[in-house]
């Protein structure tokens, strides 16, 4: 029984180490918006579109998409005032 627990723990630890090897540093939206990181933004968008099944919801793909949206739309939006509901 003790040997089984040790084997299970060893398996989980090795799995955790292997999954950690492929982790990339998470970049922020502001990082992707910086002019010097334009090539990195373009490359990340291309990578995410090429493999959306695995990458689309990863932090860097989400941040790159948001940065691209801000860049495309100008990133400046005015708040719209809610219309008043007339009272009768």
Q: Which residue has the higher pLDDT, 49 or 24?
A: 49
Structure tokens at 44: 């990340």
For 3-47, write each residue's pLDDT tens digit: 666 556 666 665 555 455 557 899 999 999 999 999 999 999 999
CA separation for the pair 20, 11 (Å, rounded) = 14
To the nearest 10°, report the CA torsion of 37, 43, 49, 50: -160
Q: Averaged over 74-84, what is the pLDDT?
A: 68
- pLDDT range class, residue 73, cuts 50, 70, 90: confident
For the cut 90, the answer to whether the pLDDT of residue 58 exceeds it is: yes
Q: Averaged over 56-66, what is the pLDDT?
A: 95
Q: Averaged over 59-87, what is the pLDDT?
A: 82
- For the chain, the residue count is 88
């Amino acid at each position: 029984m003790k040997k089984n627990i040790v084997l299970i723990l060893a398996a989980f630890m090795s799995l955790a180490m292997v999954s950690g090897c492929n982790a990339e540093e998470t970049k922020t939206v502001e990082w992707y918006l910086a002019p010097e990181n334009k090539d990195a933004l373009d490359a990340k968008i291309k990578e995410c579109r090429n493999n959306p099944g695995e990458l689309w919801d990863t932090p860097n793909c989400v941040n790159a998409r948001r940065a691209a949206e801000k860049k495309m739309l100008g990133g400046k939006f005015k708040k719209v005032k809610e219309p008043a509901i007339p009272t009768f």
